[in-house]
């Protein structure tokens, strides 16, 4: 296939900090299935396997991506419904669906999505299966361009790979590797963060008592903390325990999270400074109870 099944082109922005140190933004155009498959690891942060990935677009822009483990047969419809709900919440107009793995597991899942998404008003622009360096399209019916044995692909020479590499973006080998980068620290480092958190809690409580409008004060403090964190990681630094504790506590407030999510969406467009990926603050933040994990992983 020389083009995606829709014949359309889609734009993906990559923001990063190359070796020179200045932040750059590059826009990559996704024209072919190979371009799309090259983009997925950088959207997720790792190379997926035994997964279904949905990339959401608004107009020609990639605005959202989600990944889930391939479900057992009895859960296929539930997953399709859940992913459809997530895409609606993100105002997605068109979805590109990719399944990674063997056909017996991928096909029921991606076909369920192909049927479910249009019922929610979301157009399906492409449905692919990829494994072992080959892909198959569920929308293309031409044996000439989509042979039964699959189409070989190599993402290493794509524009996406070149731009992402220059921008300092990293796609880890698999999800397990990504999880290890997020594993919480322990011992003296954990104790230091706990002490910093207690101090930050007292500081923020005092600020709230003195503020004429605690909500406005809290949101402004959250924005200042976010800007400072991004600048720190853009320069290759690492958040101090006091700064980490402050922003972690601020993020427990829904109004702060909403304000920062909107700001990040405008400013970073799905990318983070490379140093932030190398040393994610989530590894050092204090635990405040356990939450049930959702089966959908968002990137």
Task: Indicate whether 41 and 59 sit together in one domain.
Answer: yes
Inside any domain, residue 4: no
pLDDT value of residue 60: 82
pTM of the complete model beyond 0.85 = no
DSSP string, 198-264: HHHHHHHHHHHHH-SSHHHHHHHHHHHHHHHHHHHHHTT----HHHHHHHHHHTTSHHHHHHHHHHH
pLDDT value of residue 9: 64
Mean pLDDT per 10-residue section of the chain, whose length is 299 residues: 62 51 64 92 92 92 91 96 93 95 97 96 95 94 87 91 81 87 81 90 91 89 86 82 90 83 59 43 48 39
Cβ-contact 189, 198 below 8 angstroms: no
How far apart are alpha carbons 185 and 298 in whole angstroms?
23
The two counts, helices (H) then strands (E), for the chain are 10, 9
How far apart are alpha carbons 260 and 223 in whole angstroms?
6
DSSP string, 88-118: HHTT--EEEEEEES-HHHHHHHHHHHHHHHH
Task: Indicate whether 25 and 169 sit together in one domain.
Answer: yes
pLDDT value of residue 12: 63
Burial class (CB in 10 A: 0-12, 13-18, 19+), 35: buried
Domain boundary among 174, 199, 231: 174
How far apart are alpha carbons 143 and 136 in whole angstroms?
11
Task: Indicate whether 65 and 208 sit together in one domain.
Answer: no
Tokens coding 201: 């809690």
Task: Indicate whether 270 and 292 sit together in one domain.
Answer: yes
Domain enclosing residue 119, as ranges? 10-174
pLDDT value of residue 278: 43
Inside any domain, residue 73: yes
Domain boundary among 174, 192, 223: 174
How many domains, in total, are found in the chain? 2
Task: Indicate whether 225 and 163 sit together in one domain.
Answer: no
Task: Indicate whether 207 and 130 sit together in one domain.
Answer: no
Cβ-contact 133, 2 below 8 angstroms: no
Domain boundary among 174, 190, 224: 174
């Amino acid at each position: 296939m020389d083009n995606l099944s829709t014949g359309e082109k889609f734009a993906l922005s990559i923001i990063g900090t190359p070796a020179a140190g200045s932040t750059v933004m590059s826009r990559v155009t996704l024209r072919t299935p190979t371009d799309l498959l090259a983009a997925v690891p950088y959207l997720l942060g790792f190379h997926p396997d035994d997964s279904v990935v949905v990339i959401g677009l608004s107009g020609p822009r990639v605005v959202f991506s989600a990944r889930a483990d391939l479900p057992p047969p009895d859960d296929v419809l539930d997953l399709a419904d859940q992913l459809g709900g997530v895409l609606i919440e993100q105002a997605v107009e068109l979805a590109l669906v990719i399944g990674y793995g063997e056909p017996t597991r991928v096909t029921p899942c991606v076909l369920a999505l192909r049927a479910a998404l249009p019922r929610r008003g979301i157009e399906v622009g492409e449905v692919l299966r990829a494994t072992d360096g080959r892909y198959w399209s569920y929308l293309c019916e031409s044996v000439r361009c989509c042979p039964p044995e699959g189409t070989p692909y190599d993402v290493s020479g794509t524009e996406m790979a070149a731009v992402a590499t220059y921008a300092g973006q990293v796609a880890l080998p698999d999800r397990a590797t990504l999880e290890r980068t997020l594993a919480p620290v322990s011992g003296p480092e954990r104790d230091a963060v706990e002490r910093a958190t207690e101090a930050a809690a007292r500081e923020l409580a005092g600020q709230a008592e003195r503020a004429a409008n605690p909500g406005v004060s809290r949101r402004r403090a959250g924005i200042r903390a976010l800007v400072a964190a991004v600048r720190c990681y853009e320069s290759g630094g690492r958040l101090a325990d006091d700064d980490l504790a402050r922003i972690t506590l601020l993020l427990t407030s829904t109004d702060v999270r909403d304000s920062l999510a909107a700001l990040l969406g405008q400013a970073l467009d799905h990318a983070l400074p490379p140093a932030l990926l190398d040393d994610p603050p989530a590894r050092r933040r204090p635990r405040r109870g356990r939450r049930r994990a959702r089966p959908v992983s968002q990137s």
